[in-house]
Structure 1
Amino acid sequence: MNKLVLGIDGGGTKVLARIADETGATLGEGASGACSISAMPVAEAFASARAACEAALAGRSASEVTAVCACVAGFSVVENRYAFQALLAEWFSHAHVIVEGDFVAAFTGATAGAPGIIVIAGTGQVAYGENGAASHKAGGYGYLIDDSGSGYGVGRAALAAVLKAADGLGERTILTERIQDVVGLGAPEIIAAVYGGALDRVRIASLSKVVADAANDDGDHVSQRILMQAGGALAQIAEAVSRKIFTADDPPFPIVPIGSLWRAGDYLKNVFVRSAHRFAPQATIIEPLEPPVQGAVLRALRL
């Protein structure tokens, strides 16, 4: 019987599953809703994963699968991780099953499993790298602790800039008008909207595009500084990973930016690239080689 492996990439908005053979070639794929084991009940996260896996199996039996790697959001909540793994192991009773963080799938796909570092900057942020047996993660603390360099962090900084400009604590910024155009709120209403929930985490993160447009199209100095500070924050977490697992004597390795915030333009990217060349002169900045779900497949093939 041919070896079949299953990779699962579970995120806060959707989950993807991919069945592959022993060469890593895709045999089936499926998708479903959110699969974060910290932001939703484990049973609901598993139900989403199961729906995606059943679509990927396409009539095959779960008993045919020999290895499963599920890389899911919310991995740091240990008791939920074990509960999720137990549900998978009960279903795929003939398989070796592991559960890892979603950033692990992103890394393995982005580098095809080779040594390197990824820097994810979307709604949140995190840096993760591997070099042989060594691995390290930096950042990813969440928006309540510190999400500097994330879409949420940029959006939050934009709201703060608007409020400070209104109070005379900061310079005037076109963000005042641009944010009002997008969310329909002026400075007096912003605080109530944030604490009342009308401006939630995802909506605040979406304001990062407003900041990028103001920086790149309108030449707004406040927006440009916000993006440069975000680039610096992302460089800091990448450097922390690099210091832990690489030395100056190591051969060249890739640093892979991943996530929507990297599309914000050169004010962010140039700060990051300059810093990366300083702390890791041998590193090259590349695009991801494979998607995260294929990274999960590659991890499953190692089992």
Structure 2
Amino acid sequence: MYVLGIDGGGTKTVGVIADEFGKIAAQQTVGATNQNGVDRKQVESELRNLVTSLRLQNESAFSNLSVVFAGMSGVDRPDARSFMEKSISKLVPTGTKVVVDIDGVNALYSGTYGAPGIVQIAGTGSITFGMNANGDRGRAGGWGYLIDDEGSGYDLGKEALHAIFKEYDGRGKKTILTESILKHFNVSLPPELIQTIYQVGKAREVISPLSRYVAEAADQQDEIAREIIHHAGRKIGNSISSLAQQLFHSDGTVPVVLVGGVFNRSDLFIPAIESVLKDQKVRANLVKPKLPPVGGAVIKALQCKNVSIQEGFEAAFIFGSVKLGC
């Protein structure tokens, strides 16, 4: 039996055909499929390219598809989800079951292997999403960079900029972030950053990459950088705690999957997160997933056929090992 898992986002979309043991038969990466960022004609084109490549790579596995699970960003609205289901159904063999859900399911299952829990995503943006054993769902945060996205790369970068302008004004402490960020933009003084930072529609992509300088400065024991990370960790901890109390009450230890570029330095953030959870009496097991999000999509597809994940699945799912098609 073969299933197709799809992880679709605002930057790229990944598809993997695999069997119930986790062995990959075909895989491909195409462009964005988030309907909030690209028009539907482009979404259909990217999906067509994805499925065509998978079929060409392994015709036999493709023709024997049982289920497609597509965890996609931008399908919160019923009409967006319906459009995605119809678009995918046209491209796969007749009779293949197609299920579309939010991409948070992929991220969660990449760490819990289909079990209930919470996933904390902290990349350019951030969101906390969870499901309990009854199928109840919840979220905290993730309302966009103008309103929320606490603990995200953008949030860290914005706080770093705030700190260097406060130092420049004489309102804040000295920080090595100033030197790093000025060098990044190849300017001499903070006011020279304004034109670049305030480019229309460019704030997230300009500011988010600055988060790496916060981690580097923290490694050098910079007081301001360490404060930024500590506060970001506490924000994340509060989101996790809030959702855990809503969904899990006192039902034992909750697995919390940490996903996204911010957690490439989870060692810096985990102490503050754990401190909040301890203070609020939330029992959680913080997990760094060993599978990519598309692996979670494959697991959900198998779950749709009542297939339990067996020992060895993770070892068999060697993402990136299959030669890509045209």
TM exceeding 0.5: yes
The residue type paired with residue 192 of structure 2 is E
* Match runs of 1:9-24 below 5 Å: 9-24=7-22
Pairing 1:203–2:206 present? yes
Q: Which residue of 2 aligns with 1:148?
A: 150
Q: Which residue of 2 aligns with 1:120?
A: 121
Q: Which residue of 1 aligns with 2:307?
A: none
Pairing 1:187–2:190 present? yes
State the SS of the aligned residue for 1:70.
Answer: strand
Q: Which residue of 2 aligns with 1:106?
A: 107
Task: Tell me, in whole angstroms, the C-alpha distance in 2 between the residues paired with 1:279 and 1:175.
Answer: 32
1:82–1:190 CA distance, 2 compared to 1 (3 A)? farther
Task: Tell me, in whole angstroms, the C-alpha distance in 2 between the residues paired with 1:33 and 1:98.
Answer: 20
1:46–1:13 CA distance, 2 compared to 1 (3 A)? same
Pairing 1:251–2:252 present? yes
- Post-superposition offset of 1:238: 0.7
Q: Which residue of 1 aligns with 2:269?
A: 268
Q: Which residue of 2 aligns with 1:164?
A: 166
1:266–1:63 CA distance, 2 compared to 1 (3 A)? closer
Q: Which residue of 1 aligns with 2:288?
A: 287
Task: Tell me, in whole angstroms, the C-alpha distance in 1 between the residues paired with 2:241 and 2:254.
Answer: 13
1:191–1:255 CA distance, 2 compared to 1 (3 A)? same
Task: Tell me, in whole angstroms, the C-alpha distance in 1 between the residues paired with 2:13 and 2:99.
Answer: 16
Report the RMSD for the aligned CA atoms in angstroms. 2.2
Task: Tell me, in whole angstroms, the C-alpha distance in 2 between the residues paired with 1:155 and 1:18.
Answer: 33
Unaligned runs of 5+ in 1: none
* Match runs of 1:22-171 below 5 Å: 22-57=20-55, 58-60=57-59, 64-92=64-92, 93-132=94-133, 133-171=135-173
Task: Tell me, in whole angstroms, the C-alpha distance in 2 between the residues paired with 1:86 and 1:198.
Answer: 32
- Post-superposition offset of 1:108: 1.1
Pairing 1:8–2:6 present? yes
Task: Tell me, in whole angstroms, the C-alpha distance in 1 between the residues paired with 2:293 and 2:266.
Answer: 23
- Post-superposition offset of 1:106: 0.7
Task: Tell me, in whole angstroms, the C-alpha distance in 2 between the residues paired with 1:77 and 1:168.
Answer: 47
Task: Tell me, in whole angstroms, the C-alpha distance in 2 between the residues paired with 1:298 and 1:87.
Answer: 22
Q: Which moved more, 1:236-245 or 1:127-136?
A: 127-136
Matching residue within 238, 241, 257 for 2:240: 238
- Post-superposition offset of 1:299: 1.6
- Post-superposition offset of 1:161: 1.5
Report the count of equivalent residues: 299
Task: Tell me, in whole angstroms, the C-alpha distance in 2 between the residues paired with 1:302 and 1:265.
Answer: 30
Residues 64 and 94, structure 1, Cα contact 8 Å, conserved in 2: no
TM-score when normalising by structure 1:
0.90
1:136–1:280 CA distance, 2 compared to 1 (3 A)? farther
For 1:139-175, what per-residue CA distance to the aligned partner results, in whole angstroms no more than 9, with x for missing partners?
Answer: 1111122111000010011112222222233222221
For 1:267-294, what per-residue CA distance to the aligned partner results, in whole angstroms no more than 9, with x for missing partners?
Answer: 4221012222344553222221432112
State the SS of the aligned residue for 1:172.
Answer: coil
Task: Tell me, in whole angstroms, the C-alpha distance in 2 between the residues paired with 1:298 and 1:265.
Answer: 25
Task: Tell me, in whole angstroms, the C-alpha distance in 1 between the residues paired with 2:280 and 2:75.
Answer: 29
- Runs of 4+ in structure 1 deviating by more than 4 angstroms, as ranges, are none
Task: Tell me, in whole angstroms, the C-alpha distance in 1 between the residues paired with 2:147 and 2:40.
Answer: 23
- Post-superposition offset of 1:26: 2.6
The residue type paired with residue 7 of structure 2 is D
Residues 48 and 91, structure 2, Cα contact 8 Å, conserved in 1: no
1:267–1:301 CA distance, 2 compared to 1 (3 A)? closer
Unaligned runs of 5+ in 2: 305-326
1:110–1:266 CA distance, 2 compared to 1 (3 A)? closer
1:187–1:77 CA distance, 2 compared to 1 (3 A)? farther
The residue type paired with residue 242 of structure 1 is A
Q: Which residue of 1 aligns with 2:310?
A: none
Task: Tell me, in whole angstroms, the C-alpha distance in 1 between the residues paired with 2:278 and 2:266.
Answer: 18
- Post-superposition offset of 1:226: 0.9
Residues 178 and 210, structure 1, Cα contact 8 Å, conserved in 2: yes
Q: Which moved more, 1:254-263 or 1:22-31?
A: 22-31
Task: Tell me, in whole angstroms, the C-alpha distance in 1 between the residues paired with 2:90 and 2:230.
Answer: 48
State the SS of the aligned residue for 2:144.
Answer: coil
Task: Tell me, in whole angstroms, the C-alpha distance in 2 between the residues paired with 1:112 and 1:148.
Answer: 27
- Post-superposition offset of 1:76: 2.8
State the SS of the aligned residue for 1:97.
Answer: strand
State the SS of the aligned residue for 1:16.
Answer: strand
The residue type paired with residue 81 of structure 1 is R
